[in-house]
Structure 1
Amino acid sequence: MAASSLAAAAAPQGPGPVTLVNTSANLWTASIGNTPMLGVFTDVFTFTNPVTANSTAYGTLINTSFMGWSNVTFTAADLNGIALITNATPWGPMTFNTATLLPSSVTGPLTLTVHGVSNGGSYGGDINVLMAPVPEPETYAMLIGGLGILAMLRRRRQQ
């Protein structure tokens, strides 16, 4: 799984259409990032893969600046209206600017909107979606068959 994530991380996808890659079982991942123009920016990432109902999404975007150089500050970010937690953590001469999506229930087409201010830096990160399983047609057939047996037993008891 780590190798798949690293391979996907090698080529982050910029604003616009983004493809989630199936990394293992029902985990889908997209590495995203951008080097926005100087000043205030808004980046919009639209995920092309459909997301099943009751799926869970999580991830983090990060920028590391050294003494204020190559700085991207996230002012707000959201995935389908779910706010990401934005934070700037200084550590010595470095500052880690992050936008973190805690595990959240999502469905349908996904759109990630990132707002911030850039003085020449870039950012990157991963968005992960743990897809909820979709019942197979055989599952529905067994459900209908089981309901039919219950209806037959109920009718037999009434007689």
Structure 2
Amino acid sequence: MDKKKLHLQTLALAVMLAASSLAAAAAAPPQGPGAVTLTNTAGNLWTASIGNTPLLGAFTDVFTFTNPVSAGSTAWGTLVNTSFLGYANVTFTGADLNGISLLTGALPVWPVTFNVATLLPASVTGPLKLTVHGVSNGGSYGGDINVVMSPVPEPVTYGMMIGGLGILAMLSRRRKQ
């Protein structure tokens, strides 16, 4: 009896996760391989929903982010495939963002397997390029990439700083005289 209850709970959890994934996908459709635009969501946080349904067999997807990333910025994100009883399976064999490896693996929770590629928070700069390698038997994957942009001082800030230093130099020179 307890074993049946556990299986029903697991199945209910899988259905809820699948429903939440569909709701998230409906809210922000993922951008496929190629040029991807990061969207400013709040303050310095920029994000993009990405994903693909690769052809059967081995694949390599490349996502090139069009927004420049300032030095000292931090990126993180996760790609997920949810496979039910081994159907619609995408297995990640490797992934990297500008040479920073993503952690890949599978979490089997019968009857569902979650195939995941995760980027832990990492310092990034310049144009971003995400490369995803894997094997598909007819599934798809999706996820989000997030970047906290390091603030870049405005030219006015530099002007005010130079002006302030000039005033300090002038006051110092007057005191000496």
CA distance, structure 2, for counterparts of residue 12 and residue 51 of structure 1: 20
- TM superposition score normalised by structure 2: 0.80
Query: What residue number does 2:133 align with?
Result: 115
Q: Which moved more, 1:145-154 or 1:95-104?
A: 145-154
Residue by residue, what CA displacement relative to the aligned partner does 1:43-89 show, whole Å, maximum 9, x if unpaired? 00001111112111111000010111111010110011111111111
Distance (whole Å) between structure 2 residues aligned to residue 36 and residue 12 of structure 1: 14
User: What residue number does 1:137 align with?
Assistant: 155
Partner in structure 2 of residue 3 of structure 1: none
- 1:52 is aligned to 70
Alignment of 1:64 onto 2:64? no
Tell me which residue corresponds to 2:3: none
Match of 2:120 in 1: 102
Provide the residue aligned with 1:77 in structure 2: 95
Amino acid across the alignment from 1:50: P
| Structure 2 Cα separation of the partners of residues 115 and 7 of structure 1 | 22
Gaps of 5+ in 2: 1-23
1:13 lines up with 2:42 in the alignment: no
Q: How far off its partner does 1:100 sit?
A: 0.5
Shift of 1:37: 0.7
Provide the alpha-carbon RMSD of the alignment. Answer: 1.7
Identity score, percent: 79
Alignment of 1:28-39 (within 5 A): 28-39=46-57
Provide the aligned length of Structure 1 versus Structure 2: 154
User: Which deviations, in whole Å up to 9, do the C-alpha atoms of 1:89-119 show, x marking residues without a partner?
Assistant: 1112111111011111111111000000111
Letter in 2 for 1:35: T
